[in-house]
Amino acid sequence: MQKPICLITGATEGIGKATAIELAARGFTVVLAARDAAKAEGVAREIEAATGHRDADYLVADLTSLAEVRALSEKFHQRYPHLDVLLNNAGIFSGKREITGDGFEATYQVNYLSQFYLTLLMLDALQRAEQGRIINLSSSVHTNGKFDPDNLQSEKGFSTFGAYATSKLLMLLYTIELAERLRGTSVTANAVHPGVVRTQMMFRAPGIFRAVAYAALPFSVSPQRGAATSVYLASSAEVKDVSGKYFTRAREASFKTAFNTPENRALLWDLSMKSLPSEADAPGQALPASR
């Protein structure tokens, strides 16, 4: 049987790397999306050594560039006939407001917009799979995020935690909207809270947040445990037809945010689409509005 194919962003460390290793061990062909070619090559070889399978590949792309996201999609399509799982795992925790070459605030672009764009670009490959699955990394800190159409990129003042929390809220709202628009297709979309995970991003947190990270160590879990929910959603037959849900600890969880309304989700979608390059309307990317 043909091995399922999984494309993972942010896969060279932490949760993404642990997820890649586990899925490879379960028989997936794992494609790492990373900005550092040498690091990605090393992780691919590490995955092969850990699993005994030579089915780890990588593609280089910096998520601060929409052009590189587009190139990543094109390279994937050249190499692979379909995509079974897209895992939007990448994330940053920035200590200051920085603007990318595309003109977006970096946390907003890396943690949300570029992965929104990548998903659209990969929809045709996902639809060619027997059953495509989209898994988006959110977080329980989405409860601290705010959906303000005039402040999605911290235009009114930057807060490290606020920008991160808002990016995770946007990922959650977008996942629900995407699932609605994919209803009736063979592709599902779900969001994940991995838990408080001991990762390099956690220990590289700026300023006071690094002290908070160390204080949280007794309550944190390993990257392997943090990856468990993503692995479950990628591989379990139990969730084959589940879409538009929020998962933690490998089970569906309830969540509550006043910003989760059909109007806000549709507005976020429209604002995100308007931020993308004109070629974003290529075949396979048009989805009906949510019902």
Question: Degrees (nearest 5) of the Cα angle 245, 74, 121?
Answer: 30
Tallying the residues shown for the chain, one arrives at 291
Cα separation, 6 vs 27, whole angstroms: 10
For residue 111, give the DSSP letter: I
Instruction: Supply the residues annotated as catalytic.
Output: 164
Q: Based on the number of CB atoms within 10 Å of its own CB, is 170 exposed (0-12), middle (13-18) or buried (19 or more)?
A: buried
For the chain, what is the largest distance between any 2 Cα atoms, rounded to a whole number of angstroms?
Answer: 53
Cα separation, 119 vs 174, whole angstroms: 11
CB atoms within 10 A of CB 215: 9
Nearest one of 92, 142, 143, 83 to 113, comparing CA atoms = 92
Dihedral sign, Cα of residue 35, residue 249, residue 45, residue 8? negative
Cα separation, 41 vs 47, whole angstroms: 10
Residue 170's identity, in one-letter code, is L
Distances (CA, A) of 273 to 5, 90, 118: 27, 20, 12
Distances (CA, A) of 118 to 17, 172, 176, 177, 281: 19, 16, 17, 16, 13
Run of H or E including 251: strand 251-252
